[in-house]
Amino acid sequence: MALTNLLPDFMVTKLDALASLLRKHSLWPMPFATACCGIELMATASSRYDIARFGAEAMRFSPRQCDVMIVAGRVVMKMVPVMQRIWLQMPEPKWCISMGACASSGGVFDTYAVVQGIDRFIPVDVYVPGCPPRPEQLIRAVLDLQEKVQKTGTIDAREFADRTTYEGPTPLARELAPEQAIVAPGDYRTATRLRPLPLA
């Protein structure tokens, strides 16, 4: 970035720290709540736990306004393209919290329909264990994310520039032959259309 070249180093560090300080205390979550964890997410936002103490209470259901996507609950075949599309709609800088065992690894649902961890298909920054995690754990995850934002800094997008490759676990073997694979619902570009695609 141009800023890095123009200013002396210590200034950049300070500016970066300042930007990160402001940014980390006003994380706007995008609650991608699908299942049980969504209720705990609601509990975290309501009176007893009050996530507003950590500046992350402004839940916006519009991905264009959000910084951090909280995937709460298991993600299944039909939902993956939707999740990917929402992730792509969020503006940079953006982070992702994978809340709960189901979102992180599939949890108890090792079945034909459930994706075994969302990190296979989108990048994830913080994993929260638990089924579902207690609100305290989610708050801890938000704090961890704040620490990450502060440490890595985002003003010159250093953090994101380094991360060009796939970060998730080793992709599982695709067990279907290409001609058998179900293609259409898997693509976030076409998943919400109303009429079938014309055959290629």
Partner 1 sequence: MATLDKLQAKFPGAFTTSSFRDNVRVLVNAAKAPTVLFLLLKFLKEECGFDMLTELGGIDYLNYPNATDRYCVVYGLTNTATGERLWVKAFANDPDPELPSVVELWNGANWMEREVYDMYGVRFTGHPDLRRILLPAEFTAFPLRKDYPLRGYGERHNFPIVTRAES
Partner 2 sequence: MPLQSASPVLDDDIAGADQEFLYTLNFGPQHPATHTTLRLILTLDGETIVKAVPDIGFLHSGFEKLGEDLDFNQYVTIVDRMNYISPVANEIAWHHTVEKLLGIEITPRCKYIRTILAELARISDHLLCIGAAALDLGALTAFLYAFNTREKVYNIIEATSGQRFHPSYTRVGGLMADISDEVIELIRDFVATFPKAHSDICRLLNRNRIFIDRTKGIGVLSKEDAINWSCSGPVARASGVVRDLRKDEPYLAYGELQSAFKVVCGKGGDCYNRYLVRMGEMLESWKIIAAAIENLPAGPVNVDLDDKLTIPDKQATYRSIEGLIQHFELFMWNRRWETPIEEVYGANETANGELGFYVVADGSGKAFRARTRPPSFIHFALFPLLMEGHQISDVPAVLGSLNIIAAELDR
Name the site residues for partner 1 (rule: CB under 8 A).
76-78, 80-81, 84, 87-88, 92, 94, 110-116, 120-123, 160, 163-168, 171-176, 180-188, 196
Please, which residue, 33 or 126, has the CB nearer to partner 2? 33
Q: Is 72 strand, coil or helix? A: strand
* Residue 24 binding result from partner 2, partner 1, none, given CB thresholds of 5 to 8 Å by partner type: none
Look up tokens 């990917």; give the residue.
84
Which tokens go with 30? 């995008």
Number of residues forming the site for partner 2 (CB under 8 A): 33
* Residue 46 binding result from partner 2, partner 1, none, given CB thresholds of 5 to 8 Å by partner type: partner 2
* Residue 42 binding result from partner 2, partner 1, none, given CB thresholds of 5 to 8 Å by partner type: partner 2
- The reply on whether position 58 binds partner 2 by CB under 8 A is no
- Picking from 194, 116, 154, the residue whose alpha carbon sits closest to that of residue 24 is 154
Ranges within 105-164 binding partner 2 (CB under 8 A): 108-109, 111-114, 131-132, 134
Instruction: Give CA–CA dist 184/80, Å, rounded.
Output: 12
Burial class of residue 164 in the structure, from the number of CB atoms within 10 Å of its CB (0-12 exposed, 13-18 middle, 19+ buried): exposed
Instruction: Give CA–CA dist 81/187, Å, rounded.
Output: 6
- The reply on whether position 14 binds partner 2 by CB under 8 A is no
- The reply on whether position 56 binds partner 2 by CB under 8 A is no
Instruction: Give CA–CA dist 158/85, Å, rounded.
Output: 24
First vs last C-alpha separation in the chain: 43
- The reply on whether position 88 binds partner 2 by CB under 8 A is no
Of 14-22, 69-77, 163-171, 175-183, the segment contacting partner 2 by CB under 8 A is: 69-77
**Residues pairing with 58 in the sheet:** none
Q: Is 113 strand, coil or helix? A: coil
Please, which residue, 2 or 194, has the CB nearer to partner 1? 194
Task: State the nearest-atom distance from the C-beta of 174 to partner 2, in Å.
Answer: 20
